[in-house]
Amino acid sequence: MLEVLWEDNHLLVVNKPAGLPVQGDETGDQHLLEIAENYIREKYNKPGAAFVGLIHRIDRPVSGTMMLAKTSKALIRMNEVFRLKQNRKIYHCITQYALPESEGTLENYLGKDSNTHRALTYNTPRPGTKHAILHYKLLNNRGDKFLYEIHLETGRFHQIRAQLAKIGSPIMGDLKYGAKEPLPDRSIALHAFQLITPHAVKTNPSLNVIAPYPNKQWWQLFADVVKKHDPKKQGPKKQDPKKRR
C-alpha cells in the first residue's frame, strides 16, 4: 500500500519503504513507479496507463520521502529544481559508533567501482572522482545507537553511506559499507526524513514534507526524539569553505 504524504494535481510525495526499488531492475520485483501508477489510475479512474515521472532516487534499502511528478510539465520543472539544488533534503541515520564531533562536516572525493556497485572514498582528488560534502549533527543516542541528522551539500552515489563508513561509523545494517551485522529486514538505518522544495508550478509557499520513521524497533527507539525535534530548524550550519582547508 502506498503511503502518501502530500499530493496535488502536479506532484505526489510518498514515504518509500526500505527494500522497495524506485524503478524496475534486473530482479523484476514490484517497484515504486509501478505502485504509484496503479494508485493514480485507480484513485482517479484513469483509463490506460497513468503518467508518473521520476524526479529523484533513493537507494533500495533506504526509506523515506520520494517526490514523483504526475504531469510532464511538473517533471521538467522539478528536475531543474533538483539539478540546481534549490531544495533541501534532510536525512536521519543510526550508527553504532559515534562520529568525531557532535556536529561537523565531512569532505571527501568519491569514485565508483562498477563491479561491486560501491562508492570509493578518498581524502584527496583522484581521476574520475567527484567532490562530496555533507554536514551532520547528533540528535541523540540510546546506548550504542547514535541518531544523526544529515544535510547534503552535494548529491553523490552512496554519499552518506560511503562518507560515514570512511570515518569508521557505518550505518546500521549497511554490510556493503562495513556494518558488522544485517538488520532483520535487510534494510539499512538511513531514512530520507524531510524534503523542503519549491513547487513545480506554485511560487509560495515551499513544500515542507516529513516522512514518519518506519515502524521498526531501531527507529522507534528515537520516536520521542523526533517529536521534540523541530523539523523547520536549520540544522547543521554550513562551514566557511576556507575553514575546511
Q: What residues does each domain of the chain span?
A: 4-233
Instruction: Tell me how far apart the alpha carbons of residues 86 and 224 are, in angstroms, rounded to a whole number.
Output: 31
**Confidence class for position 237, pLDDT limits 50, 70, 90:** very low
The reported pLDDT for the residue numbered 98 is: 95
Instruction: Tell me how far apart the alpha carbons of residues 71 and 53 are, in angstroms, rounded to a whole number.
Output: 7
The amino acid at 144: D
The reported pLDDT for the residue numbered 3 is: 96
- Work out whether strand 145-152 and strand 190-197 pair parallel, antiparallel, or are unpaired: unpaired
Out of 3-17, 65-79, 163-177, 226-240, which region has the weakest mean confidence (pLDDT)? 226-240
Instruction: Tell me how far apart the alpha carbons of residues 119 and 116 are, in angstroms, rounded to a whole number.
Output: 9
The reported pLDDT for the residue numbered 21 is: 94
**Confidence class for position 74, pLDDT limits 50, 70, 90:** very high
As a whole number, mean pLDDT of residues 61-76 equals: 96
- Work out whether strand 190-197 and strand 63-69 pair parallel, antiparallel, or are unpaired: parallel
Residue 238, pLDDT > 80, answer: no
As a whole number, mean pLDDT of residues 170-176 equals: 97
**Confidence class for position 169, pLDDT limits 50, 70, 90:** very high
**Confidence class for position 202, pLDDT limits 50, 70, 90:** confident
The reported pLDDT for the residue numbered 225 is: 73
**Confidence class for position 24, pLDDT limits 50, 70, 90:** confident
In CATH, what number does 4-233 get? 3.30.2350.10
The reported pLDDT for the residue numbered 201 is: 87
Read off the C-alpha cell for 190.
Answer: 538511513
